[in-house]
Amino acid sequence: MFHGGWWTFIRFDEERDRPRITWALLRRVWEYARPYQGRTLGLLLTIFAITGLSLVPPLLYRDLIDNAIPNRDITRINWLALGMIGIPLLNAAIGVGQRYLSATVGEGLIADLRNALFDHMQRMSLRFFTHAKTGELMSRLNNDVVGAQTALTSTFVNIISNIVLIVSTLAIMVSLEWRLTLLSVIIVPLFLIPTRRVGRILREVRRQSLDLNARMNALMHETLNINGALLVKLFGRQEDEMRRFRERSAAVARIGVKSALIGRWFFVGLGVVSAVGTAVVFWAGAYLVLQGEFTIGTIVAFGAYVTQLYGPLSSISNAHVEFATSMVSFERVFQVLDLPVEIQDKPDAVELTNVRGEVTFDDVSFSYTAGGDGGAAALGLNAGRDTGDGTSASFMPRISERQMALEHISFHIMPGELAALVGPSGAGKTTVTYLLPRLYDPTSGRICLDGYDLRDIRLSSLARAIGMVTQETFLFNDTLRANLLYARPDASQQELEEACKAANIHHYIVSLPKGYDTVVGERGYRLSGGEKQRIAIARVILKDPRILVLDEATSNLDSQSEALIQEALERIMKGRTSIVIAHRLSTILAADVILVLDQGRLVEQARGMNGKSAHELLLARDGLYASLYRTQFRDPAPTIPV
């Protein structure tokens, strides 16, 4: 009846919510712990030492009561007193060493996990970042990594300590009095039943807490960066955002209170059970003392061991649930590490050295939805309004009702030619520029550089060969020098200045109080649009790529900035293959090839020949290009005099 009662209930509760710990997961965790196995062994030795020393004081109490005091042995009393002082001091010293080992293992593990996560995220495709919430990614790098570290340096250490303490304590208790030991063990089921059930609840609360913290982090990221803060202020939505943050902050607080109360009531219950068990042991022990079965010192020592037994016993009874709960963080970290890398090198990828700059699009079709969301949905990273803008807005794909962003695009650009991409908004021009540096791979067809399929070229050599200037320039919150050297860290000061002179920005930089060491602010917001654009051009000049991909960003600039940028662009395009999203007639007139896109299709294209420019040839066809020329590119009508 006893066995079929509480034990059956416990097994049923286990089966209903068995912690998902697999050998594969444990082996993977061990791979991260392996470099610290020497320190982990030292950690285990300190556990044995501390446990052994903690078992000595009750024996000193028994000797004091049973021998030293009755025999009036002052010397023995002095030695026992020194032992009662020395053992805690020695234990404390070993504890400091244990904490040092635990901290070095834990912090090293945090660094390794963060490095692995960051490295993997750096290899993820642009598709992943355009769908993921940056704040949630930050949560994986911070909260989940710390939780994973806790699983090894806290939970694991506690489990081992409790096992060693329970075994050692029971051994001594049996040697002192086996009947009282049996009586102490009988009440163990009163620990097991609530411990199992509460452990399951706490595991779920832990998951909820991580999710709620991630959502709060996402909101903080998108409203506290410069773009988010500017948008909030321009639309006067401060109160709304404060309300949203208070709601999420309150949710995090509520789950924290819930976790604390569950744990507190749980330990209150365990304390009551422990008090009952201790009282029963003392009651039975006192009866046996009166019967002359053993001494008063023995019952005092036994009572101390019982107190030491029940705490670890309650913890170890829920050890696998507690460990599974702490492993939730590892699971969340591994979720990210297991996401497939969409854009990566083939094992036999080619390293291009002397790039000529011949570009071919061969029946290329592309859909932003064909590749899903890069794995963001699998992590719950792409729901709601929380999408961060850690990626520049110019790198976000246009939302379109079309399934295909590009359909059956074919064209050829010879080395050194200037190709102008022309078309109405949403035609697919930006998508073409994303495919060339392999920010995405085509859904069908192929793109070739110097006759090589881009998928057969090493990403590093492709990045060296192609330079991009996007419509919205992104600058790190660092010095002008650091932002420029991002293109080529080994560039000299002279090369830096020559690049800036070519971009018509050097004179402005040297006029600043700190010159090239001026900090540009978050996303470069301390600079004007024209200044940021010229910094971006200087950065590309310093890189010295063979192929330029440009989204001319002069339409919203003042005339002086526009003139400076146009001059700089014309200078750097000479001798290079250039693909330009054209916003100005001057660029189109200079183009060797004009590609006209509409609704994802290449509807017109022309290459200058027989003394006629591509512009003239397309005008003669009187198609979409001619219509765009008449409405967008032609010189504006003269001002009507008043």
Least confident segment among 115-119, 492-496, 521-525, 595-599: 521-525
Sequence ranges of the domains in the chain: 20-337, 359-367+398-633
Check residue 412 and give its pLDDT. Answer: 95
**How far apart are alpha carbons 46 and 40 in whole angstroms?**
10
- What is the tens place of the pLDDT at every residue in 114-149? 888 888 888 888 888 877 777 677 777 777 777 777
Asked if pLDDT for residue 414 goes beyond 90, the answer is yes
Question: Which of 77-91, 518-532, 616-630 shows the lowest per-residue confidence on average (mean pLDDT)?
Answer: 518-532
Q: What is the pLDDT of residue 8?
A: 35
Between CA 392 and CA 41 the distance in angstroms is 47
**For residue 479, how many other CB atoms are within 10 A of its CB?**
16
Average pLDDT over residues 603-612: 88
CB of 162 within 8 A of CB of 323?
no
Fold of 359-367+398-633: Rossmann fold (3.40.50)
Q: How far apart are alpha carbons 593 and 579 in whole angstroms?
A: 9
Phi and psi torsions of 593, nearest 5°: -130, 135
Q: Decide: pTM greater than 0.75.
A: no
Q: Which residue has the higher pLDDT, 7 or 489?
A: 489
Residue 639 pLDDT level (bands cut at 50, 70, 90): very low
Give the pLDDT score at 494: 92
Cβ contact 566:554 at 8 Å: yes
Burial code (b: 16+ CB inside 10 Å, e: under 16) for 33-63 equals beebeebbebbbebbebbbebbbbbbbbbbb
d(CA 228, CA 345): 35
pLDDT at 12 over 70: no
Q: Given this model, what pLDDT does residue 34 score? A: 84
Give pLDDT, residue 364. Answer: 95
Give the residue, 234 or 603, on which the prediction is more confident.
603
What percent of the chain has a predicted confidence (pLDDT) above 90? 17
Residue 9 has pLDDT above 50, yes or no: no
Grade residue 388 by pLDDT with cuts at 50, 70 and 90: very low
CB-based contact 436:545 (threshold 8 Å): no
Residues pairing with 420 in the sheet: 580, 594
- Mean pLDDT (the chain) is 79
Average pLDDT over residues 81-86: 90
Q: What's the per-residue H, E or C state across 362-385?
A: EEEEECCCCCCCCCCHHHCCCCCC
DSSP state of 454: G
Question: Rounded distance, CA 351 to CA 132, Å?
Answer: 31
Q: What is the pLDDT of residues 198-240, one digit of tens each?
A: 766 777 787 788 788 878 877 887 777 666 776 777 667 778 8
Confidence class for position 319, pLDDT limits 50, 70, 90:
low
Per-residue model confidence as pLDDT tens digits over 246-304: 888 888 888 888 877 777 777 676 677 777 777 887 788 788 878 877 788 888 887 78
| pLDDT at residue 55 tops 70 | yes
Are the C-beta atoms of residues 605 and 595 closer than 8 Å to each other?
Answer: yes
Task: Return the CATH class of domain 20-337.
Answer: mainly alpha
386 falls in which pLDDT band (50, 70, 90)? very low
Model confidence band, residue 453 (pLDDT cutoffs 50, 70, 90): very high
Tokens 């208790």, residue? 173
Please give the pLDDT value at position 3: 42
